[in-house]
Amino acid sequence: MAIVLLSGGLDSTVSLAKSVRKIGIKLALTFDYGQKANQKEIHAASLIARHYKIPHQVIKLPWLANITKTSLVNKEKAIPKFSFKESNYKETAEAVWVPNRNGVFINISASFAEALGYKYIICGFNKEEGETFPDNSIDFLKSINKALNYSTLSKVKVLSFVIGLNKKGIAKEGLKYRIPFEFLWSCYDGQEEICGKCESCQRTTKVFRKLKIL
Ligand SMILES: [Zn+2]
């Protein structure tokens, strides 16, 4: 039995779809840390959770919103446009970095898991983002699992079923598991429509076009 971290994007939805039968998902958690796309992400996650008939809970982290200065949260800063050609990965990663975000998410989820008697936390860490964001990497996953052996009595464990995959591989899994692509929200911005220019949009749109998904 497990808890899934559901942002409403492709990676977390595919992770959910892959584990829903295998492990049994008892709860989906979405974090609101004041990100610009919070309402869009919460809406997407609630539709996806309902689709899979899983209870959904939103965890508000106003303190994280207050201390985060980067453009993912700060309304006065624009989210950087991303280009695969001009390899500005490090720059955009820093511009959208939220202090210890995945560390916080996992530790909060681990409290839920231990309290509710669930063994696993499912997250959408993947290869592509693992190269840009250290808190999406295999090393981080291994390290936080080591820490959870001490910080939870029940030795809660984080699993990612997409950690070895890039966006294209994850999208293919999405097709295989028939995820509801129409509910997803992958844009860093929270406008009516996706911006099409941020790193998340660029990565997802490119793959969706190639695979003729949307
Ligand atoms: Zn976008």
State the Cα–Cα distance between residues 24 and 150, nearest whole angstrom. Answer: 25
Domain ranges for the chain: 2-210
Distance in Å, CA 68 to ligand 1 centroid: 19
Against a cut of 0.75, is the pTM above it? yes
β-bridge partners, 4: 28, 122
* Per-residue pLDDT tens over the stretch 63-117: 999 998 888 887 777 877 777 776 666 777 777 889 999 999 999 999 999 999 9
* Per-residue pLDDT tens over the stretch 40-65: 999 999 999 999 999 999 999 999 99
Distance in Å, CA 75 to ligand 1 centroid: 15
β-bridge partners, 122: 4, 159
* Per-residue pLDDT tens over the stretch 118-127: 999 999 998 8
Q: For residues 192 and 75, is the Cβ–Cβ distance under 8 A? A: no
Higher pLDDT, 128 or 57: 57
Distance in Å, CA 12 to ligand 1 centroid: 17
E strand or H helix at 3: strand 2-5
Instruction: List CB contacts of 209: < 8 A, sequence separation 6 or more.
Output: none
* Per-residue pLDDT tens over the stretch 131-172: 888 999 999 999 999 999 999 999 999 999 999 999 999 999
Instruction: Please classify residue 41 by burial: count the beta carbons closer than 10 Å to its beta carbon, then call 0-12 exposed, 13-18 middle and 19+ buried.
Output: buried
Distance in Å, CA 91 to ligand 1 centroid: 16
CATH topology of domain 2-210: Rossmann fold (3.40.50)
